[in-house]
Structure 1
């Protein structure tokens, strides 16, 4: 990521570096001018215009420093801000390509920490650290050369004695800072995830009266973050005083040897003032080394976390994709055994089923029998074994995932609505949807009347975060309308009508069956009354299909389906009484 960015914006860093160097060169001029003024004042000046010229020279140098500092900030700091935008863009694009299996093992708070703290730390390394490194290296070399050339090499070699110990100390503390900052970032990610989860689930927390326990948990996570920060700060806090100590030793050496040289006449007072001024300028690179090591190690630790994300590979890979753009909806599964990447046991075992294009089937069964997993297999949200699942005669592994999902309207169990208007939520995925189309499919999903009569601003009503202002049934029906608007040849409804009454569910399913478009409809439902008219009903138990047939055939079979159906009829009668 950094390499690509530098390849694109190297010229801005080059110009910024040149202006930093120009600033350093101009800073070397003023001490020399001041030293000359002191010597001339000591010996006496007959023409004051010499002093005026020197003062105007100092003002000119200061103005040049001002202009140069402005431009290096524009080029280098501006590039660092561009990197911040670029990195977040690349990271977000990467997140969009990663499969659900990635999101099964990483939390939202962890991702948010990488988008905020980690990106900011790398930006510091791409901005201030660049300036400090150029400034420290060039300023040190040029200042030492100037001190030796203009004043005294003997005195210069003496006062730079603290520099070698500084390099060793910086290397030692750099490793410590790198290790401890990675722990700080990890603790911040955990704390961020807990905060995000608590805010998202605040209604559940309040309904169970768990505010105090959640507060205590958050305090523990915050305390852990503080402890890791303090461990880092203890290292950092020791590092900078050591650098200041070494800088002070350089001053003491200069005063001891330089002062004696002035007394013995080896140096003039102006040369000594110039030398001590240069030495003061040398202290800044020594101080900058401390900041530089800290910023670079933080940036390295954060960049390694960003690279972990960028190096994630999707386990949904399509080689030799079939030349398909539109599917008919003919589905065949042969001897499919499937398990999730993170699980040991197979969730689906030896599954065989066939769905003709335009057919309607239902998948029912006990809780945890693999109904939802079968829907995820058909949408290829997880890797599917080769030669097991075929759509329109093509192995699903040879169908481009984008083409596959464009041709499937999938409504999962967990309904998710965006913080947008009802209209925009329905039109999500179909950019050019007309109002007539939106109303049509909202009617098919039995939500149009609710929108018109109950919602304060009709289709322009904001639904709130995750659709919090809508009832469960309303959210489900909006999600169904959103899926139907795709006009996909395959529709999968994964128990997405659980919050809707049976009559409304039957109405929605009937509208799907009786619509003008030829659709392959797969209904996963726990309410058997709603799927009685399916062409074939598959009954799953413990990952296996144990029964299949239409409603009448399954009732005659006198198996699990019949027991479940009669139990639900009995429950309805008890509720009516």
Structure 2
């Protein structure tokens, strides 16, 4: 019963709806008592040769009225209980999705996508069944069972009733014992489904890599092994679940045996009539559903309880990124000061960044270069407030970035990672995602700045061209430029390009950087890149190595230092010459 307590907040919220549904169940149970009684009276009248046409028509009329009444009362409880259950699923889905949107990077590093999807689908459906089928099973087993028992005792014979229901306590013992085992088994089942869901999601997402490496069969074998493990775990759940119905059927069979033996004796001794025995047997058949409902109830509750705990474990997770209720609501603008003494990722044993400082005046451009894993992307993540626990301070416009409201701070930043995510929508919708109210002229201006105008003009449907899932119909360079256009559309105070030009050619890169230099004279830009040509025109360039700044200066100053920057620039220049010579051949 603990799941009902856990959902108590919702039952209190929707108590009127559930009260209306319970009233419908009560009316249905009361009206259901009438037909067996009428049948018994007709049987007695036939047995006593006293049945007349008038009596038959009256009793048939009562049966018709009861049937119509049951139709209306069933409509009452179905719309109320199932409607409230659907509303609970809607409420939890919205709450869970909002929670997903508010959580930080640490959360998504801890939980895999397939697991999160499983909790948002299977687990929520199991909880919904508690608020719908669970309430029905619980209330109807009491209401229908209770009213039927009262009818059996008052309208037929109380001694016969006591004998007939004597096997019923066995059901409670069985349900309690099996319910505990099902709870544990279903937890394992849901966890196995999460793993299988995650495997399918990863395989579908990475199908290009799988095919390019010729690992289709290996991945299929791995998936089949996951299926076998999941099926084996679910077999245990099904074995336990399957024990409910046979035991319930056995209990009902014992009740019928007791009824036939005891009822037959009472008829022979003229304690009850043959019509009363028929009525009693009909009432006993009506007890089958309440008995089955009790067995189903424990199953539903244990499944819902396991799923509710899994969902609430997610919802109770707290983001490490704190959005102050009284934070600064003005749009950040002005100089950017980055003064970091140290930062390490959660659960990491070493610092990722150490003693990284730079100051940028509004309108300046900073270039960040270094080897893979040097810490370039980490700098971007801190600027985006994906992590907030660090030693030092970052100021934007004379204000610590942690003091801004997220809704005021983040819209002032245009961020373009190397692998930008595109939605399965049109080119126009993807560009206007951050600014849905943007005009066509604004969109075209952003597209021109990103050097994508000619490409879109060549698309058969232009701006209405669907890009496919994650931009599958576009090339790498087109995806990057579309993401740049999306970032430029909001005219950000701070534009961050995290190796966002790696898939475009040198000519396009020069065109885009030239546009940014001309039109962002009063706005700040940070470019992290492996290709040093992307940062040559920056006002300052810093070289990171193992999270520390090892070189700093303009392009000319760094070339004069003859350090890592000079060596890498010369190497890339040589590679470019070799590539050009090869192309000429």
Give the distance between the partners of 1:564 and 1:247, measured in 2 at CA.
83
Query: Any residues of structure 2 matched to 1:15-414 within 5 Å, and which?
Result: 15-45=20-50, 47-319=52-324, 321-385=326-390, 387-414=392-419
Q: Which of 436, 445, 448 is the aligned partner of 2:441?
A: 436
Give CA deviations for 1:539-574 in whole Å, capped at 9, x if unaligned: 000010011111111122221111111111122222
Q: Which residue of 1 aligns with 2:460?
A: 456
Is the CA contact (8 Å cut-off) linking 1:129 and 1:292 kept in structure 2?
yes
User: Matched residue of 2:330: which SS?
Assistant: coil
Deviation at 1:451, TM superposition (A): 1.1
Q: Gapped runs of 5+ residues in structure 2?
A: 1-5
Deviation at 1:517, TM superposition (A): 5.2
Deviation at 1:476, TM superposition (A): 0.3
Q: Which of 496, 501, 525 is the aligned partner of 1:521?
A: 525
Deviation at 1:101, TM superposition (A): 1.8
Deviation at 1:26, TM superposition (A): 0.9
Is the CA contact (8 Å cut-off) linking 1:361 and 1:522 kept in structure 2?
yes
Is the CA contact (8 Å cut-off) linking 1:329 and 1:490 kept in structure 2?
no
Deviation at 1:351, TM superposition (A): 1.4
RMSD: 1.7
Give CA deviations for 1:414-455 in whole Å, capped at 9, x if unaligned: 111111111111111112211111111111111111111x31
Give CA deviations for 1:462-498 in whole Å, capped at 9, x if unaligned: 1111111111011101100100111011111000100
TM-score, scaled relative to structure 2: 0.95
Q: Which residue of 1 aligns with 2:470?
A: 466
Give the distance between the partners of 2:328 and 2:319, measured in 1 at CA.
22
Q: Which residue of 2 aligns with 1:556?
A: 560
Give the distance between the partners of 1:299 and 1:371, measured in 2 at CA.
45
Deviates more, 1:275-284 or 1:545-554: 275-284
Deviation at 1:392, TM superposition (A): 1.8
Deviation at 1:230, TM superposition (A): 0.9
Deviation at 1:321, TM superposition (A): 4.4
Give the distance between the partners of 1:93 and 1:142, measured in 2 at CA.
44
Q: Given the alignment of the two structures, is residue 482 of structure 1 paired with residue 486 of structure 2, yes or no? A: yes
Is the CA contact (8 Å cut-off) linking 1:334 and 1:388 kept in structure 2?
yes
Deviation at 1:5, TM superposition (A): 4.0
Question: Alpha carbons of 1:356 and 1:440: their partners in 2 closer, same or farther (altered >3 Å)?
Answer: same
User: Matched residue of 2:433: which SS?
Assistant: coil
Deviation at 1:389, TM superposition (A): 1.6
Deviation at 1:523, TM superposition (A): 0.6
Deviation at 1:277, TM superposition (A): 1.7
Q: Which residue of 2 aligns with 1:567?
A: 571
User: Matched residue of 2:183: which SS?
Assistant: helix
Is the CA contact (8 Å cut-off) linking 1:554 and 1:562 kept in structure 2?
yes
Deviation at 1:181, TM superposition (A): 1.3
Q: Which residue of 1 aligns with 2:536?
A: 532
Give the distance between the partners of 2:516 and 2:149, measured in 1 at CA.
83
Give the distance between the partners of 1:3 and 1:395, measured in 2 at CA.
42
Give CA deviations for 1:62-119 in whole Å, capped at 9, x if unaligned: 2211221122212211222232333222221221111122112222221221222112
Give the distance between the partners of 1:346 and 1:261, measured in 2 at CA.
87
Equivalenced residues, count: 576
Give the distance between the partners of 1:437 and 1:284, measured in 2 at CA.
65
Q: Given the alignment of the two structures, is residue 499 of structure 1 paired with residue 503 of structure 2, yes or no? A: yes
TM-score, scaled relative to structure 1: 0.96
Deviation at 1:61, TM superposition (A): 1.1
Q: Which residue of 1 aligns with 2:3?
A: none
User: Matched residue of 1:505: which SS?
Assistant: helix
Give the distance between the partners of 1:79 and 1:320, measured in 2 at CA.
33
Is the CA contact (8 Å cut-off) linking 2:328 and 2:408 kept in structure 1?
no
Q: Which of 444, 450, 456 is the aligned partner of 1:445?
A: 450
Deviation at 1:48, TM superposition (A): 3.0
Is the CA contact (8 Å cut-off) linking 2:540 and 2:554 kept in structure 1?
yes
Is the CA contact (8 Å cut-off) linking 2:343 and 2:391 kept in structure 1?
no
Is the CA contact (8 Å cut-off) linking 2:186 and 2:306 kept in structure 1?
yes
Is the CA contact (8 Å cut-off) linking 2:41 and 2:275 kept in structure 1?
yes
Question: Alpha carbons of 1:44 and 1:549: their partners in 2 closer, same or farther (altered >3 Å)?
Answer: same
User: Matched residue of 2:549: which SS?
Assistant: strand
Deviation at 1:3, TM superposition (A): 4.7
Deviates more, 1:165-174 or 1:288-297: 288-297
